[in-house]
Amino acid sequence: MEGDSLNPRERFVAAISHRLPDCAPRYAEFTPQVLATFRDETGSDDPAEFFGYEMREVTFHPSCAHPDYAAYYSELPAGAEIDAWGVAWEPAHLFHLSNMIHPLRNANSVAAIERYPLPDIQAAYRHADLEERIAAVHGLKLAAVSEWTTIFEQSWYLRGLDNLLLDMLERPHLAEALLDRVTDVACFSARRFAEAGADLIRTGDDIGTQRGMMMSAPMWCQWLKPRLARLVEAAKGANPAVRVLYDSDGHFEPVIPDLIEIGIDVLAPIQPECNDPLHLKREYGGDLAFWGSIGVQSTLPFGTPTDVRQEVKERLATLGQGGGLVIAPSHVIPPETPWENVVAFFAAVDEFGCYA
């Protein structure tokens, strides 16, 4: 153990470095419905402060540029909003979910992809004060984690999932053009967060399903591994002490050795409905830390508080054995989750989360 009592940042850094802290760090993200319940029940607006998260997210400032993304849509459904990448989001009728409309869905040439306006992420006004803001987080004895950056996921948001997968098989020149442009943005982001002193860079792509990967491991190694390696190199080249987290829902164990090879330090979210957390700990715990593991398709929404307590206890005793675990739900806490189960999660972390 790295000391009898660590401050929150020290605890978090020890855990993501797969070392033994004094206690396991905790984290959870809430859907809007659960966040509203949290506010009603606690009178607080800040789950991170209320429940004692050891980390805080630091982001780039919003873009002031306004490309004419509307030119990529003949018309938009009522209520649709266009995000900073030009992707249109149409409100759905089920809780927090949305329908996506892809601006490059009809692109049929490299030129069309290359002239598409990507976010002005390199503009100084968006990141010039990152060092100052990260230092402010550190001044509170908290760890600083980057906002999310993705490669495959952001690319298919722009192109459409079916289109991008077909490009990778039949139109590789289009896939290369898009993936390379998005990778350039991701690498710049990772490098800036790392050189500014962030403790953890968060990246990932949802490449898994409940039954296996959505593409073959060789296909992932051909298309995504070298681009992800560029991101890791950009971050660790700027700051060798920084850790990099890779997040994918579903089952993606076939490429975990490749993730280790390119320098990934932390794996998330360890979805227990389609992964065996104990197996992952035994097989890869010498190389990786873990983040997540509490089921949001099972125990958290549909179990009892006692079930939640037992799952947290079991994960801390297995996946968290010897350290190397940020205990968290495996996704945002879904709207149907009873508030008593949310309370039970954090109470169980308090009860079982410290190492003797």
* pLDDT score, position 66: 87
Question: Tokens in use for 230?
Answer: 């560029």
Cα dihedral 166/171/177/182 (nearest 10): 10
Query: Sign of dihedral through CA atoms 233, 234, 235, 239?
Result: positive
Neighbours of 356 (CB within 10 A): 3
**161-170 vs 172-195: helix crossing angle, rounded to 10:** 110
**Given the DSSP bridges, would you call strands 88-91 and 81-82 parallel, antiparallel or unpaired?**
antiparallel
Mean pLDDT of the chain: 96
Question: In the prediction, which pLDDT does 18 show?
Answer: 87
pLDDT at 256: 99
96, pLDDT greater than 90: no
Give the mean pLDDT of 141-160: 98
First CA to last CA across the chain, in angstroms? 9
pTM (two decimals): 0.96
**Which pLDDT band holds residue 113 (cuts at 50, 70, 90)?**
very high
Q: Quick check: 147 pLDDT over 90? A: yes
Q: In the chain, what are the domains?
A: 8-65+105-352 (3.20.20.210)
- Alpha helices by DSSP H, listed for 128-171, are 130-139, 152-159, 161-170
3-state secondary structure 288-356: CEEEEEECCCCHHHHCCHHHHHHHHHHHHHHCCCCCCEEEEECCCECCCCCHHHHHHHHHHHHHHCECC
β-bridge mates for residue 99, sequence order: 90
| Residue 200: closest CA among 134, 122, 284 | 134
> What is the per-residue pLDDT for 196?
99
Q: Name the token pair of 297.
A: 């398709």
pLDDT band at residue 94 under the 50/70/90 scheme: low
Q: What is the pLDDT of residue 2?
A: 56
- Contact status, residue 269 vs residue 226, Cβ threshold 8 Å: no
Tell whether the model's pLDDT for residue 119 goes beyond 80. yes
Choice among 19-28, 72-81, 173-182, 230-239 with the minimum mean pLDDT: 72-81
Q: Which two tokens stand for residue 56?
A: 């805080």
Q: What is the pLDDT of residue 139?
A: 99
Write out pLDDT tens, residues 238-295: 999 999 999 999 999 999 999 999 999 999 999 999 999 999 999 999 999 999 999 9
Residue range 175-202: mean pLDDT, rounded: 99
Residue 1 has pLDDT above 60, yes or no: no
Q: What's the confidence (pLDDT) of residue 285?
A: 97
